[in-house]
Amino acid sequence: MDYISDHLGIEKEKVIGILNLLREEGILADAKDLTAYIKKGEKINRSLQIFESFSSIEKYLATIFEEQEETYNIKELNEEAEKLGCGNVTPKKIRIILNFWTIKKMIKYKNSEYSKNHVRLITLEPKEKLEQRLEKRQELAKFIIEYLYSQSSQLKGEVEAEEVLVGFSVKELKKSYEESMNLYKIEVSTADIEDALFYLSRIEAIKIEGGFLVVYNPMTIERLEEDKKRRFKVEDYQKLKQFYDSKIQQIHIVGEYAKKMVDNYREALQFVEDYFRLNYTSFCKSILKEVEKLKFSEILVLENLGNCLVNCHQHS
């Protein structure tokens, strides 16, 4: 995907859309390129339980927020939602929903300068449209959980596991929904399925890996030093230095492993066994006796080279 995007000068999102369209038309094979870890209890579908908790909170919040900017108290919203029967509601869950709605451009909000419990918020679309979007996404999300849960139940030997790994694709989910016996099913697109998967991932009902699905983990940066004239010191970069020192070691490990895979397969197997058996510090001392300092650009080159060597050996 990156190769196509770079060489044709097309945005990655458009490339993903085109590839998904080719899959829908049957031109490209529909590989099960997504995997989900389904949470399971002995008798309760925990993923569905998590979804239903967030779903009830969302429905409540949709009735409260207005198209005019207002100030809302998170704790008061939490207490009111609890009174109305929203299961397992917490301020943290409310904030997760607010962050998700912001990413999907359903609302716009900012924290109050005077209180951590207050937010200034405005909806970016009419209440009726907002509720319709919620209803559509929640119906799809519930179907996806039930479908993946039914698939996980068919996996022999893994039924009692805390989390079960299930392979699937976006096209598979879309087709299964369209073929379902649900009398109230709605017309859906690939984007709708991806939206529902993103939602389930954000509320941690399921963990998704692989495919083209991009899960954004927002970062909040808070300035701690109020003196704007203060200069940075060496100790301010200590954590960054530790990160790159660790990165350098990992690149050397990958490079050494790739080299052993080419030269001596037995030594490569012993290398892997030592990596998982020995303490990390002991492993580095025994295997990587001379770790030279590299620039960041050299790290990237070695990282790509190491991965290429491993891939070449696997295909040879």
Q: What is the DSSP string of 204-228?
A: TSEEEEESS---------------T
Q: Which of 204, 224, 244 is the last residue of a domain?
A: 224
- Determine, yes or no, domain membership for 56: yes
pLDDT tens, position by position, 75-93? 999 999 999 988 889 999 9
Q: Which of 170, 198, 224 is the last residue of a domain?
A: 224
- Determine, yes or no, domain membership for 219: yes
Instruction: Please tell me whether residues 127 and 238 are part of one structural domain.
Output: no
Structure-block tokens of residue 63? 């009735």
Instruction: Please tell me whether residues 3 and 121 are part of one structural domain.
Output: no
Asked whether the predicted pLDDT for residue 310 surpasses 50, the reply is no
Confirm if 206 and 213 have CB atoms less than 8 A apart. Answer: no
Q: Which of 197, 224, 251 is the last residue of a domain?
A: 224
Instruction: Please tell me whether residues 9 and 61 are part of one structural domain.
Output: no
For the chain, how many structural domains are there in total?
A: 3
- Determine, yes or no, domain membership for 142: yes
Instruction: Please tell me whether residues 77 and 203 are part of one structural domain.
Output: yes
- Determine, yes or no, domain membership for 305: yes
Phi/psi for 13 (5° steps) reads -60, -40
Nearest to 211 by CA among 234, 229, 224, 193: 193
Instruction: Please tell me whether residues 62 and 141 are part of one structural domain.
Output: yes
Strands 34-39 and 163-168: antiparallel
70-73, strands of its sheet edge to edge: 70-73, 118-123, 107-111
Segment holding 73, helix H or strand E? strand 70-73
Instruction: Please tell me whether residues 159 and 49 are part of one structural domain.
Output: yes
Expressed as residue numbers, the domain containing 294 is 234-315
- Determine, yes or no, domain membership for 149: yes
Instruction: Please tell me whether residues 184 and 259 are part of one structural domain.
Output: no
pLDDT tens, position by position, 256-269? 888 888 888 888 88
Instruction: Please tell me whether residues 45 and 90 are part of one structural domain.
Output: yes
**Residues, the chain, total?**
316
Instruction: Please tell me whether residues 26 and 55 are part of one structural domain.
Output: no
pLDDT tens, position by position, 97-133? 999 999 888 999 888 777 888 999 999 999 889 999 9
**Confidence band (pLDDT; 50, 70, 90) for 24?**
confident
Task: Give me the chain's average pLDDT, please.
Answer: 78
- Determine, yes or no, domain membership for 135: yes
Instruction: Please tell me whether residues 189 and 245 are part of one structural domain.
Output: no
CA-to-CA separations, 286 to 248, 260, 268, 275, 281, in angstroms, rounded: 16, 15, 15, 10, 9
Instruction: Please tell me whether residues 128 and 240 are part of one structural domain.
Output: no
- Determine, yes or no, domain membership for 103: yes
Asked whether the predicted pLDDT for residue 284 surpasses 60, the reply is yes
- Determine, yes or no, domain membership for 229: no
Instruction: Please tell me whether residues 155 and 43 are part of one structural domain.
Output: yes
